[in-house]
Amino acid sequence: MNSKSSSLSSISDLFRPNNPKRLRSRDLSSTRLSVLKKEIQTDMHLIPLKDLFVLLGTDPVQGLTSTRAAELLEYYGPNTLTPATQYGWPKVLFKSLCTGFSILIWLGASLCLIAYLIEISTKPNASSDNLYLGCVLIAVDVICGLFSFYQNYKSSKIMKTFNNMIPQYSNCIRDGVLNSETQVHDLVKGDLVQVKIGDVVPADIRIINSKGFKVDNSSLTGESVAVPRSNSEGTANILESPNVAFFSTQCVEGWALGVVMCCGDLTALGRVAGLAARLQPAPSPLSREIIRFMRYVSAWALLLGLFIAGSSIVLGYPFMQTTVFVIGIIVANVPEGLQPTITAALTLTAQHMIKKNCLVKNLEAIEALGACTTICSDKTGTLTENKMCVQHIWMANASYFVMEPEFNSLIQHNLAFRDLKNCGALCSTATINTTGEIHGDASETAILNFFGKYDDLKSIRKILPKVAEIPFNSVNKYQVSVHLNSVTSTYLVVMKGAPECILTRCTTIALEKKDASLTTEIRKAADTACDNLANTGERILAFADLILDPAKYPLNYNFDTDNLNFPLEKLRLLGIMGLMDPPRKEVRRSIERVREAGVRVMMITGDHPATARAIALEVGIATTENCHVLTGSDLRNMTPDLLNWTLEKHYEIVFARTSPTQKLQIVEACQRSGGVVAVTGDGVNDAPALRRADIGISMGITGSQVSKQTADIILMDDNFATIVTGIEEGRKIFDNLKKSVCYILISNVPEILPVLVFILFSVPLPLGVMTILCVDLGTDMWPAVSLAHEPAESDVMARPPRTSDPLVSSRMLTLVYGHLGLIEFTAGMFAYFIVMAEHGFYPAELFGIRRYWDNEAINDVRDSLGQEWTYAERKELERACQATYFVAVVVMQITNGIICKTRYNSLFHIGMRNKVLNFGLLFEFALSCMICYIPGVNNFFRTYPLRWRWWFLALPFSVLMFIFDELRKYCIRRKMFGGWFNKLTYY
């Protein structure tokens, strides 16, 4: 006792407001997180109450003194939830702007501005192209960063949703005086508090005294049924202990007096809130892919920059000019359009998923769901309907399934059913309002809804008014009420409760036509029926009644429910009912589809193991009775290695009676094995697991505000089947992102190589900075984004989850840089040389001409025909050539957009049914025309009003690209040449 209590005391010190450990704020938050990840270790609910009062220094009648309460409040701090160490919004914004691929774009922008500064310091009439490009890159980064900031800043408000669950005032006894206006944040350990129906429990309390006290624990434990709490013996697991009521749970029946054991951060709610606020979500697979790609691009750009630097020095270029060249080649390698393309594609997919009842809060979660390997599913509300229903009835020594079509005809003249219906209507604390709406706990509501189909329950209650009642409690495990039958002038006692408590009190049984003695055979039949219903996971209740002798219990008899003065023995057994939260009809097929996609599904619930197993079998999570079921007690005795081994050994596994900490442990164990984990949940207890998972999925209808705030995705229909849609969409968007990235990277090749040709062979620059900008952030954007609208490939749900399939693979780079990109570059250079040749500069004359071409002092450069060209004329021709090269790239990119529609199938099989892409290709052509022909615009972008025949110069290469790609895909489908193209270019 002392060790556990002292341990709890030291933990309390760690959460004191004045930071007694003198740790840095980040270290303090990390230390608190490690403490919160552990199970609650305390015996304060197990020791005798008198010892607890001594330990807490309080009086069981007078409570704490005001002076002592003030001292404790000052020492331990208020009864509130302390937020984790959080960054202010400027730091969150900075992190959003400077993570992932944005770092590369910031580098490119910085280099552009440096190049501009070098040029204006070395040239009298320096170009502003690098300045414009740098500013555009900054704008792109800021816009995309703001999207990320919006997501990150929203997640920092998790703790606020927890604090919304805390009441403002409580009924507290201090100095022997009950004060109903005591503020909850002023409560301390040792305070005595009263809780009555409708109140929210203001701290974790040990029950001292109670009557009919029931609390709704669903937010913390996941149990959908209100549970009784009283001054009884505690259990080892405090979350299941019947003598403890937890902070933020609501009293739904009765009243209780309790002593505060824990406040604030160390309550069960505080631990959940602390975990949810301090845990860092796992980076999404897409963000990991982008970081990986960023490293490759950076390494490639730096290597190419070093090569250019060495080559330029060997060729005799000045140092400052070499620096500009290196900067130019590094910037040319940055695919500026990639980040906005991915953001736009994910945004469009998120909007599409809203129509399918799936609200996406974190854009990257869409793609992560497609990569999911394991789904840890909650039971209540996700796999089931979150609505208790009567499933089976045993009465008159026979079992009935209430959903059978012939059930109604079987009970029409059954006297046992009539009396069972009356008992169910009367022995209930649920209320029925004037409109017929029922208010009560889940089980009683289900019973009244069932019997309400066969009779007017309000009339039954009116004929038989209640005169006395014994509420259900965890010790007796039954509920009793006494009703006056004014017609016969007798009293009727009705009882319901656990079958083992009711059956022992019964001596007779109601049959179809008459009553009979409750024989040993019938008792065995009743026990067998209970066992069968328990094995299906149903909650079992037995019903009985007794008509009191009017001679002994006349009218106006004073019934005493505290000191019983009426019999609860020799009752008549009316029947046994099995209630269950039934599984959703569509869930079984959904789980089959998920399994076909190679995704493992595990159930994690706070419900009873038998209930969990039964539901798992019914929905298909378990396919045999031998499904491995682990309880919270089992997990408590497991090491992390043993848990990992268990997850590997048992594919079909169900976790029952789990705590929030244990659910988090299961998620982290799945992630340690390399899995991408999706977690579904709707309660406060699910928040830590939702936060830590790769994809947190909350319920939109039954989900708490905490779970919705924490999750990445919200299912608006609370339906597991919607997750299947999400997985399909996630896999589709990953496939389509590959196509978009390939499309963007192909245009990167004809942007990089002209700079290399310009530097190494001293030709006039074939493609300017501004025209590169036009391609990356202008003409390419719509087609690249529109590829996200491509339908899913037929095998998308038949593949196993991707584990080693990167967004940008070596095969893609081989196809981009070794095949299609080179064709596009050749088309651009062909168009460039043709325009130069038409104006007198044959290709052979262009090599080595750059130092004369770019010299403003030289106005007599001769072409191949002997014509002299001034500097202004040369620059005008250069603009025309660069515009022609740009147009050639646009024409090739239109073809590229068509062939990137599919990675495997022929275009003739797929067709051109993507209308968004079709309009995008038309937009690409129209935009390039506007850039070339609109006065002012063409001056800004350094383009030129081209002759129309120059638009057709790239067409032969366009046809070549199309034929080559169709042939490549044909070879891939047929695995020709020993699968050479598959290994080389099938990305």
Give the contacts of 583 (CB within 8 A, at least 6 positions apart): 383, 384, 385, 615, 618, 619
> Cα dist. 170→58, 71, 184 in Å?
18, 19, 6
Q: Which of 141, 378, 545, 776 is catalytic?
A: 378
Indicate if 378 belongs to the active site.
yes
Q: Are the C-beta atoms of residues 254 and 199 closer than 8 Å to each other?
A: no
CA distance 601 to 619: 11
Cα 553 to Cα 175: distance, rounded to the nearest angstrom: 45
Contacts 24+ apart (CB under 8 A), 913-918: 913/791, 914/786, 914/787, 914/789, 914/790, 914/791, 916/786, 916/789, 917/783, 917/786, 917/787, 917/789, 917/790
Structure tokens at 605: 């619930």
Q: How far apart are alpha carbons 210 and 255 in whole angstroms? A: 6
Rounded to whole angstroms, what are the CA distances from 655 to 195, 438, 600, 627, 973?
33, 33, 14, 11, 44
How many Cα neighbours within 13 Å face the side chain of 963? Answer: 6
Question: Cβ distance 190 to 57 under 8 Å?
Answer: yes
11's tokens: 């933990």
Q: 38 — phi, psi (to 5°)?
A: -85, 155
| β 653-656/628-631 pair status | parallel
Query: Closest by alpha carbon to 293, among 731, 740, 668, 726?
Result: 740
Q: Give the separation between CA 821 and CA 807, rounded to whole angstroms.
A: 18
Q: Which residue stretches of 255-376 are H helix?
A: 268-278, 285-314, 319-332, 338-354, 364-370
Q: What are 981-985's contacts with CB under 8 Å, separation 24+?
A: 983/811, 984/811, 984/814, 984/815, 985/811, 985/814, 985/815, 985/819
**Residues in the chain, total:** 987
* Location of structure tokens 């730091």: 91
In 3D, which of 608, 606, 476, 488 has the Cα closest to residue 536?
608
According to DSSP, residue 77 is labeled -
- Tokens describing residue 277: 């606020």
Considering all CA atoms of the chain, what is the largest pairwise distance in Å, rounded to the nearest integer? 135
Q: How far apart are CA 461 and CA 28, in angstroms?
A: 59
Short-list 149, 153, 151, 187, CA closest to 167? 187
Active site residues: 378
